[in-house]
Structure 1
Amino acid sequence: MTDNHNPFPGDGHAPSPPYAQAMPPLGAVGTPYDPSQAGPYAPGGYGPPPSPGPVRPRILWIVLAWVLFVVLLVVGVAGFARGLGSAVKDAASLATFATGESVSVRLDPKDRPAIYASAEQAADVSCKVEGAPGLDVRLTRPSGTQSITYDGTTWEMVFQIGAPAAGDYQVSCTGEGVKFGVGKELIGSVGKVVGGAVAMIALPTAGFLIAVVVTIVVLVRRAGARKRAMR
């Protein structure tokens, strides 16, 4: 007897729902997993944050800046000592002679020439300076006391020589138990002392300012780098 209500003769099963046909059968292999398509919360999306690296700029810059300051300080002090020593040496470079003798020396007004005397006790001295004919040389007593000590001998300036022009002059002096010398006024070498003093002040000051600025800049930038790393 034939069932006229069955639209699929010879099939004893009812048709599956439409969505069942779209599902893969059990045991079928699906699409392989692609890690590149995974989202931020997919497996493998977690991990430690990247290392921020060392903080810049380095502390080494501060160390180098203060080392520079120390070097400039040493150079400045050494320059002042050298200038002072050179000034004393210039003034003490005397053409010496004994009382009653005459010595030929070359004088230049710009060097501020002077006559020095050395004696164990006070003595009256007199000097004479002669140049080329027509040159009038004036000898004047210094307004203040100027003395230098060189090689264990103390010399006191007794006359300033007013040479009218550079040239060779004959100098003679007399004084009981007195040694004489022709040299330069100590004030004439003051330029070297001043130059050394300027170097002693300017170089360390410049080094100190550089060190302070570098220290501030490095510390501020390092603080900023740490804040950015913490974010």
Structure 2
Amino acid sequence: MYKIAICDDEKSSAAEAAGLLKEYISEHPHSEFDVDVFGASIDLLGAMEKKVYDIFFLDIYIDKMNGIELAEAIRKKNDKAHIIFMTSSNAFYKEAFRIKAVHYLEKPIFREDFFDAMDRVCVEEVARYISFKDGGQITKVLVDDVLYIESEDHYKRIVTSTNSYLVRGTMQQMISELAEPYFYSLGVKSIVNLKKVLKITKDSIIMENGADFKIPRGTYRQISEQVLKFSF
């Protein structure tokens, strides 16, 4: 069962989100949902003392505690919760990215966008692996666990958060094996997982393990848009 909390001090916006959620639930009869709606952040925080929620829909501009601050409070209690922001402003993209929100829905919320956000947290995807020879044995690594791949002459170094592997092959072969749109080629010597980007500046991309990659000149806007796309 998915336990869901909606928090928005505007009754019409809360009702809109609840209505879209009702439509989503009706199209997914094999899943169970438990939904609570709150008009103030303090009410939600109080409910969290007795109930653990899986998914939060939070308005950015709620009350004295805004949605970002509320999300930070939620993260302290439940780091695995899925947070989806609802707002009429796009001014908080960076904060939402930092908090690792699942999605950032701009009001008025479109049904397609709402359903996409729910699918991200409710529909289990089939795990995909990349397989290769490493040290004379076959190794399988979850595609989502790959942080980046770097070229070392005729070999390619595949790096995850816990290990690195040296594999013989070409970058094109690596891209074909990964076969996911969130892997981005930075020139011809490196491929990064945009879902694993910790920070992006006009000059570089910093990955979750601290690795730093230079951004090709003139590509910052394109890359930053892709990072945002795969972060929410």
Pick the TM interval, shorter chain. Answer: under 0.3
TM-score norm. by structure 2 comes to: 0.19
Which of the two has greater helix per residue? 1
Whose relative contact order is higher, 1 or 2, with alpha carbons under 8 Å and at least 6 apart? 1
Q: Where is the strand percentage greater, Structure 1 or Structure 2?
A: 2
Q: TM-score, normalised by structure 1?
A: 0.19
